[in-house]
Amino acid sequence: MNQHLLLKLCHNTFSEILLEPSQETIISILESTNFPSKKYDLKSLLSNYFNISAEASKFCSHILKSINQVQSDYGFVEQVLDSIDNCSNGDQFGYLLLELRSFIIHNNPFSDLKKQDFTRINDEYSSVLQRLKSKKKRVARKIKLIKCVNKTSGVCVTAACGLVVVAALVLATHALAASVMGPAILSRTLKPLKKKIMNIRFLKCGFLRKAGEQLDVAAKGTYILNMDFDTMSRLVARLHNEIDHNKAMIQLCLDRREDRFSLEVLKELKKSNIGFKKPVEELEEHVYLCLLTINRARALVIKEIAKSYENKNEGSC
């Protein structure tokens, strides 16, 4: 059974499904990970990313509950509209109209999914995305600088070694002992000197390169989710307006109480009800895919963190 089908089977209780990885797991991993540099505040930034993605997942579960209520309401409306075709008299028709009253008195299920909620999540994702991009550019500049320093320092080391060789030869011309002991002294002097210079922490950018990979994965996931929520916001707004329109049509039938007029209106409503199912299913599918994207993005970032710090030795650029 694939993950998409599993999520559909858990439709009614989706809010109880834990994130993958769960927030508890994320917190444990971040707390146990020894981020080498506090200067880049990578831990705080990634923690913020995971918190927002968890909030987005929870909001998706609210959308699914609203979709479930809409499907239930419209299933009832569809049954009533189908019964209208078999009405034999005005009394039966009037009774079915009254049945539809229970539909219009209910709140629009999408009314709770306020536009500002979508805007807030989009704003939060946009803010995190900008911070991730900014941090990634900063890391890239630092790596470039370190590579330049490494290249320059390599030239300096070579030059320094050359000077030591020249000095040793000069000394050798003045003393026989120096010419005998020179090679040993030279070897002992040059190797530690070169090793010390190349092992300076500043000249290594292994951590920065790994941090850049984590930031890149998180930024890509954030961008995709931001686009997903923008699409869902438009779909929800469209469906919300359609439901309000259909309720207004039913209310008009109840107010007019003219069999012929009401019958024509309800026939049109029946046609629109058929077309209404498709965008509802489209929104539902989009929410499921968004949830899968959230989990996949979280898992990829955690994978990068684990890969980055399983080897504590920071490699050179």
Q: What is the pLDDT of residues 75-104, one digit of tens each?
A: 888 888 888 777 666 677 777 777 888 888
* pLDDT at position 191 over 80: no
**Rounded Cα gap, residues 218 and 134, in angstroms:** 13
**Rounded Cα gap, residues 182 and 165, in angstroms:** 9
pLDDT attached to residue 311: 56
Mean pLDDT within 116-123:
86
Reading the block at residue 131, the tokens are: 């911070």
Least confident of 188-202, 262-276, 295-309: 188-202
**Per the domain annotation, does 24 fall within a domain?**
no
> Sign of the CA dihedral 202, 206, 212, 218?
negative
**Per the domain annotation, does 10 fall within a domain?**
no
**Per the domain annotation, does 79 fall within a domain?**
yes
**Per the domain annotation, does 258 fall within a domain?**
yes
The answer to whether 239 touches 149, Cβ cutoff 8 Å, is no
**Rounded Cα gap, residues 51 and 53, in angstroms:** 6
* Model pLDDT for residues 211-221, shown as the tens digit of each residue: 888 889 999 98
pLDDT attached to residue 102: 83
**Number of domains the chain contains:** 1
**Per the domain annotation, does 215 fall within a domain?**
yes
The boundaries of the domain holding residue 215 are 39-163+190-311
* pLDDT at position 70 over 90: yes
* pLDDT at position 160 over 70: no
**Per the domain annotation, does 273 fall within a domain?**
yes
**Per the domain annotation, does 176 fall within a domain?**
no
* Model pLDDT for residues 19-47, shown as the tens digit of each residue: 788 888 998 988 888 775 565 678 888 99
**Per the domain annotation, does 29 fall within a domain?**
no
Closest C-alpha among 316, 313, 299 to residue 29: 299
Confidence band for 266, pLDDT divided at 50, 70 and 90:
confident
